[in-house]
């Protein structure tokens, strides 16, 4: 227990400006928060896209700085996204869309300040709740992780892809195909066991040009292409400015803050809901905010106020879309299964930093990178680094909310930036991001190829997250499969209890959603057959 408390305290010290390395990490955190702040306010650019764009800049950083920078940026996008949702009725983030339903009518009713006060304060409470849940989960989850060996880790990687594939996009076959495509991309390059070149396209590109594929495909170039290029196309096609209306004068912010504490039970329940949904891989912030909104409506006495400017409709989603960050970090750190798309991109940062999610991240004594520690560099233990994530979530949200309260009026003006003004800058940043990882001109071509592929995937309703997950987990899964077959024989590892249990969960996660859909369709059919005749009054009209 002392180890945990010690690591919890060290995790805080490592990101505060009290030591040299703490100062560096704190500056990285502030920089990340500033970027996340602006991105959150600008509609169209999500937290995951921001993380993808920022990944290349973490190469020169140590693990604490890198995660302070990335988590700081990611943690605040949902918070500031609520500002745009309330003021303009346009979600700053996909995960802050539910705030519009009651937040924007409040703004129209002249209660913009109250709505913003409620959204920001509930976001802060939610973020702290989620971070504390992460801290509490660590000692509980560690013994569980230590029971897991290579065969189970291989199965967990497949489970992660299956979860995300089955749950994203609503089409399981498409999701699994894309997950397989991601795993296929991870196979490109020299095989990790004997160094045999695989899929390096030598006959097509020639011997010299195909050499750049020997190191494997550039994860960052693919990520920025896949996610940022479709966003740029989207911005260009819409052809609109960021916001179509100018913001009104704000007032009543304190009242909104008080509302958060008046409805404290609702805020805590929605925070718990958000954390729980965050833990479930593949669901992300979208369902969290809507389930929290549904809970706010369902638990209210007067349901007729919702949709017209009920403050509870702002408090619920505000708390949930922030608390899910802490929740989604739990499976990401412990098992390498990302709880959301942002976490999938964050797994890329683990690779860049040379870290492996799992037991090492929860070890109170072992440096997270023993090689760097041996060279005398400052390296935190796995547990210290994990606890620093908790503190980053808390501190970045406190800073964000404080700044937002100070500059609320001026912040609203950012949304008036024309889309055309930011497109060339984002495009250059995308190419720069793809290039900086390996300084290879060929990676720019990868950005375009995967950008167009990502756009086609959006156009033809193919989910993108499973591909990223396959790409990130591919090498890890291959190593674990190889170790498993070497230790237990070709198929000897399949009858291990852990493997069987995870296999059953994979099957359930594959078939449960389609079974559920079929059941829902049958229910709808039954309801249709009992529908009243045209003109008859409809009961239960919400």
Partner 1 sequence: MAIFNLRLLPRLLFALFFTGLFAWMLWEAWFGFGQISAGAALFPIAILVPAVVIAALATVQELLKHRNSPQHEPTPIEADLGAAVPIILEPGVERRRTLVILAWIVGFYLGICLVGWVITAPLSVLLYLKIAGRESWVVSVSSAILAWLFFDGVFDCLLKIPLSERLTGIFIEQLQEALGIDVTRYVLVPFIC
Residues 40-99 that bind partner 1 (CB under 8 A): 43-49, 90-91, 93-95
103 binds partner 1 (CB under 8 A): no
Q: Pick from 30, 423, 483, 505: which binds partner 1 (CB under 8 A)?
A: 423
**Of 329, 313, 201, residue with least CA distance to 263:** 313
Candidate segments 116-124, 295-303, 453-461, 516-524, binder of partner 1 by CB under 8 A:
453-461
**Joined tokens for residue 265:** 């039970």
| CA 443 to chain centroid | 25
Candidate segments 27-35, 142-150, 372-380, 444-452, binder of partner 1 by CB under 8 A:
444-452
Any bridge partners for residue 197, and if so which? 190
Any bridge partners for residue 198, and if so which? 189
Helix (H, G, I), strand (E, B) or coil at 94: helix
Restricting to residues 376-415, name those near partner 1 by CB under 8 A: none
**Of 429, 390, 311, residue with least CA distance to 39:** 429
Candidate segments 208-216, 347-355, 392-400, 424-432, binder of partner 1 by CB under 8 A:
424-432
Least spacing, CB of residue 221 vs partner 1, in Å:
12
* Measured CA distances, 175 to 266, 319, 457, 464 (Å): 35, 30, 11, 8
Least spacing, CB of residue 314 vs partner 1, in Å:
18
Least spacing, CB of residue 525 vs partner 1, in Å:
19
Please spell the DSSP secondary structure of 496-512, one letter per residue: SHHHHHHHHHHHHHHHH
Strands 197-198 and 189-190: antiparallel
Q: Between 16 and 27, whose beta carbon lies closer to partner 1?
A: 27
Q: How many other C-beta atoms are found inside a 10 Å radius of the C-beta of residue 342?
A: 30
Helix (H) or strand (E) holding 72: helix 63-88
Restricting to residues 12-41, name those near partner 1 by CB under 8 A: none
Restricting to residues 472-501, name those near partner 1 by CB under 8 A: 477-478, 481-482, 485
Q: Between 26 and 154, whose beta carbon lies closer to partner 1?
A: 154
Candidate segments 13-21, 29-37, 422-430, 515-523, binder of partner 1 by CB under 8 A:
422-430
Q: Between 72 and 225, whose beta carbon lies closer to partner 1?
A: 225
Least spacing, CB of residue 223 vs partner 1, in Å:
13
Candidate segments 22-30, 114-122, 173-181, 270-278, binder of partner 1 by CB under 8 A:
173-181
Q: How many residues bind partner 1 (CB under 8 A)?
A: 80
519 binds partner 1 (CB under 8 A): no
Least spacing, CB of residue 224 vs partner 1, in Å:
12
Helix (H) or strand (E) holding 190: strand 189-190
Least spacing, CB of residue 531 vs partner 1, in Å:
25
Q: Pick from 55, 341, 393, 401: which binds partner 1 (CB under 8 A)?
A: 341
Please work out, in degrees rounded to the nearest 5, the angle formed at the alpha carbon of residue 282 by the alpha carbons of 358 and 152: 35
216 binds partner 1 (CB under 8 A): no
417 binds partner 1 (CB under 8 A): no
Restricting to residues 228-287, name those near partner 1 by CB under 8 A: 229-234, 236-239, 284, 286
* Measured CA distances, 526 to 59, 515, 523, 535 (Å): 57, 17, 5, 20
Restricting to residues 190-209, name those near partner 1 by CB under 8 A: 191, 193-194, 196-199
Q: How many other C-beta atoms are found inside a 10 Å radius of the C-beta of residue 240?
A: 13
Q: Between 286 and 380, whose beta carbon lies closer to partner 1?
A: 286
**Joined tokens for residue 49:** 């896209």
Close Cβ partners of 424 (under 8 Å, ≥ 6 residues apart) = none
Q: Pick from 30, 373, 417, 432: which binds partner 1 (CB under 8 A)?
A: 432
Least spacing, CB of residue 424 vs partner 1, in Å:
4
| Contact between 270 and 126 (Cβ < 8 Å) | yes
Close Cβ partners of 535 (under 8 Å, ≥ 6 residues apart) = none
Sign of CA dihedral 157, 163, 164, 165: positive
Close Cβ partners of 398 (under 8 Å, ≥ 6 residues apart) = 124
Helix (H, G, I), strand (E, B) or coil at 381: strand
Least spacing, CB of residue 460 vs partner 1, in Å:
5
Q: Between 171 and 210, whose beta carbon lies closer to partner 1?
A: 171
Residues 139-168, mask of contacts with partner 1 (x by CB under 8 A): -----------------------------x
Q: How many other C-beta atoms are found inside a 10 Å radius of the C-beta of residue 258?
A: 15
Q: Between 136 and 420, whose beta carbon lies closer to partner 1?
A: 420
Rounded Cα distance between 15 and 18, Å, is 8
**Joined tokens for residue 414:** 């950012």
Q: Between 387 and 455, whose beta carbon lies closer to partner 1?
A: 455
Q: Pick from 31, 148, 149, 187: which binds partner 1 (CB under 8 A)?
A: 187
């Amino acid at each position: 227990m002392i180890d945990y408390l010690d690591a919890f305290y060290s995790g805080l010290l490592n990101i505060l400006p009290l030591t040299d390395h703490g100062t560096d990490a704190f500056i990285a955190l502030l920089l990340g928060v500033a970027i996340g702040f602006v991105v959150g306010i600008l509609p169209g650019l999500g937290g995951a896209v921001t993380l993808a764009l920022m990944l290349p800049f973490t190469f020169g950083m140590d693990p604490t700085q890198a995660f302070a920078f990335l988590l700081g940026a990611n943690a605040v996008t949902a918070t500031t996204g609520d500002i745009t949702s309330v003021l303009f009725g346009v979600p700053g983030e996909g995960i802050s869309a539910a705030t519009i339903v009651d937040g924007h009518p409040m703004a129209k009713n002249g209660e913009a300040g109250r709505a913003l006060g409620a959204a920001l304060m509930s976001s802060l409470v939610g973020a702290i709740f989620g971070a504390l849940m992460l801290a509490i989960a660590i000692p509980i989850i560690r013994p569980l992780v230590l029971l897991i060996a290579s065969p189970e880790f291989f199965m967990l990687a497949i489970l992660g892809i299956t979860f995300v594939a089955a749950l994203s996009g609503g089409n399981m076959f498409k999701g699994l195909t894309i997950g397989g495509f991601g795993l296929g991309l991870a196979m490109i390059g020299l095989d990790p066991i004997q160094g045999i070149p695989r899929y390096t396209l030598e006959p097509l590109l020639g011997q010299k040009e195909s050499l750049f594929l020997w190191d494997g495909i550039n994860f960052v170039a693919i990520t920025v292409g896949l996610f940022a290029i479709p966003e740029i196309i989207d911005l260009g096609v819409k052809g609109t400015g960021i916001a179509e209306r100018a913001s009104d004068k704000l007032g009543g912010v304190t009242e909104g803050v008080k509302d958060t504490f008046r409805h404290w039970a609702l805020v805590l329940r929605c925070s718990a809901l958000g954390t729980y949904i965050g833990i479930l891989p593949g669901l992300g912030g979208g369902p969290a905010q809507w389930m929290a909104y549904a809970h706010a409506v369902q638990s209210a006495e007067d349901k007729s106020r919702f949709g017209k400017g009920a403050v509870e409709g702002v408090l619920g989603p505000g708390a949930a879309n922030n608390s899910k960050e802490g929740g989604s970090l739990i499976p990401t750190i412990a098992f390498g299964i990302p709880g959301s798309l942002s976490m999938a991109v964050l797994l890329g940062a683990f690779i860049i930093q040379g870290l492996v999610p799992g037991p090492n991240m929860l070890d109170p004594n072992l440096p997270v990178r023993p090689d760097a520690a041996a060279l005398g560099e400052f390296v935190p233990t796995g547990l210290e680094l994990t606890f620093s994530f908790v503190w980053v979530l808390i501190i970045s949200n406190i800073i964000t909310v404080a700044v937002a309260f100070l500059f609320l009026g001026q912040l609203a003006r950012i949304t008036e930036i024309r889309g055309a003004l930011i497109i060339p800058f984002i495009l250059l940043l995308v190419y720069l991001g793809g290039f900086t990882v390996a300084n290879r001109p060929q990676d720019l071509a990868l950005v375009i190829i995967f950008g167009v592929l990502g756009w086609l995937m959006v156009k033809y309703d193919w989910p993108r997250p499973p591909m990223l997950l396959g790409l990130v987990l591919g090498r890890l899964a291959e190593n674990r499969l190889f170790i498993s077959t070497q230790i237990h024989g070709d198929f000897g590892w399949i009858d291990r209890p852990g493997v069987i249990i995870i296999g059953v969960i994979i099957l359930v996660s594959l078939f449960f959603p389609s079974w559920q859909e079929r059941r829902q369709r049958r229910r709808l059919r039954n309801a249709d057959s009992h529908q009243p005749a045209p003109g008859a009054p409809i009961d239960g009209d919400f």
